[in-house]
Amino acid sequence: MQRLAWILMFSVWASAAQADAPLSGDIIRDLKTQQEQLQSGAFETVAERATAQANRLAGGNVSDRWASALYHQLAASALARQEKPAQAADHLALARQTSGVGAEQAARWLREEASLRRVAGQNEQAIDLLSEWLENEQDIAALWQLVRLMAQEAQWDAAAEQLNQAVEQTQALDESQQALALAVLRHSGQSEQALGWLVEGLGPQSDRDAWQQAAGLAQQAGQPGVAAGLWEMAWQLGKLETKDDFWLLVQLHRSGGTPARAAEHVENALAKGELERDEHSLRLLATSWQQAKHVDNALSAWQTLAEYTQAAKDWRQYGQLAYAWGNEEQAEQALFQAAELGDEEASQWLANFN
């Protein structure tokens, strides 16, 4: 805010020097006096005096109207120094709308007004002003500012359109710009492009959040296999260590088309004592090998599960799988156990062996 106020103050004389109509000596002396008072910190006094002068001269001749616009600019500077950005912006709007003000000067005031509107939290007005400014100017800083404002207002499609131009005009995106770009692409339904950006920048030095964000984007983009691969790589690099990370790893492999890898992770964790050998882990192992259609491992895992739970339905499931995969001896033994435990469906299946 302070920086903008100084820009506004010093540009009064730059604006005056470019005037098409000459200013009277009295006006020049008064403007100089007001600037000196502004420099000394008399912000309220300057704001009141400049506002009064701007209003008094607004209906005069060409020279008076130009002076009125300059007083509005001076009032804007004083108000900005008082941390009143909305009121300061209102004065700049009046300055640039003054009859006779040249297009170049009006455009500069428009840009400054946009900055004040943004500081004041008037994002919708700032967006309109920046959009108007960019119609005739190549301003990469303003373009990124417009993208950010649109994102803040959840105007995701419009933000994505402006983002494409911003990226084309930027040689190397900094971290803030990268984060903004990813958010815009994700929310505008362009998860695949966002994922491409993320994956391209991933490496051993990337932190857990970067890997997690990439895997999440892959899921949003309908690429569960990519998500599983990213989480697997992060796991191997030691970026993931918690139990929740492990279970997500298993889940992603199961949903991403690599259930055998999920089963291997569960099996290894059981062997190392990192997982409790309970019904949940044994069932996960059995169903993962089954999903992978690894016959020997699946049948062995189902047998282990059934022996652990002694549940009729698990013996029956084991038997039905064995039968479907052509292992009739195992199937009969498993179905017999299920029938012994009162499973009527298993008893009906046993009839196939008589």
- Predicted local distance difference test score (pLDDT) of residue 205: 87
How far is residue 184 from each of residues 13, 189, 190, 208, 332, measured CA to CA in Å?
A: 41, 9, 8, 21, 59
CB of 255 within 8 A of CB of 224? yes
Helix (H, G, I), strand (E, B) or coil at 273: coil
What phi and psi, each to the nearest 5 degrees, are found at residue 97?
-90, 0
CB of 215 within 8 A of CB of 194? no
Q: CB neighbours of 44 closer than 8 A, spacing ≥ 6?
A: 78, 82
CB of 94 within 8 A of CB of 64? no
Question: Distance (Å, rounded) from C-alpha 186 to C-alpha 151?
Answer: 11
- Predicted local distance difference test score (pLDDT) of residue 178: 79
Question: Distance (Å, rounded) from C-alpha 165 to C-alpha 121?
Answer: 25
- Predicted local distance difference test score (pLDDT) of residue 39: 85
DSSP 207: -
Q: How many helices (H) and strands (E) does the chain have?
A: 20, 0
Rounded to two decimals, the pTM is: 0.62
Question: Distance (Å, rounded) from C-alpha 257 to C-alpha 279?
Answer: 24
What are the sequence ranges of the domains in the chain?
1-133
CB of 91 within 8 A of CB of 51? yes
Residue type, 277: R
Residue type, 246: F
- Digit-by-digit pLDDT tens for the chain (354 residues) are 555 554 455 456 556 555 556 788 888 889 888 888 988 889 999 999 999 999 999 988 988 998 899 999 999 999 998 999 999 999 999 999 998 888 888 888 999 899 999 999 999 999 999 999 999 888 999 999 999 999 999 999 999 999 989 988 887 777 788 778 888 988 888 877 877 777 777 888 888 888 888 888 888 778 888 889 999 999 999 998 899 999 999 999 999 999 999 999 999 999 999 999 999 999 999 999 999 999 999 999 999 999 999 999 999 899 999 999 989 889 889 888 988 888 788 778 887 766
CB of 232 within 8 A of CB of 261? yes
What phi and psi, each to the nearest 5 degrees, are found at residue 227?
-60, -45
Provide the CA 51 distance to its chain's centre, in angstroms.
Answer: 42
